[in-house]
Amino acid sequence: NPDPKPCERGPSRAVSLGSLTDLLNTFSDFIQDRTAYYLDSNITQPLTMSHQLSFAELVGPKLVTFFVSHFWGTPFRHFVATLSHHAKSFAGDFGGNA
């Protein structure tokens, strides 16, 4: 996101699967099989600190089709793989925008 800025909390301030996949791919050597607890304190907080924004605001907030609540203790790569599987299973129903 070339121009990160604050936005209102709510359904249009979500993180897309693409942004989560990019985060995993960019930092995979550090994340390995670690959880969101590691990711938060070691990657997302340092990335967002200087901007004083949420991660969603930093990468560009999106309005998504599905909201997902998740346990932070699951390995992050498993979480992203599960979301990818879910998106592929619904892609035809939502024109590829799951």
- Please state the φ and ψ torsions of residue 51, each to the nearest 5 degrees: -90, -15
CA proximity to 32, closest of 18, 43, 45: 43
Q: What pTM did the predictor assign?
A: 0.86
Tell me the torsion sign for CA atoms 75, 67, 8, 6: positive
Q: Nearest 5°: CA angle at 47, between 7 and 42?
A: 130
Digit-by-digit pLDDT tens for the chain (98 residues) are 888 999 999 889 999 999 999 999 999 999 999 999 999 999 999 999 999 999 999 999 999 888 888 899 999 999 999 999 998 888 766 555 44
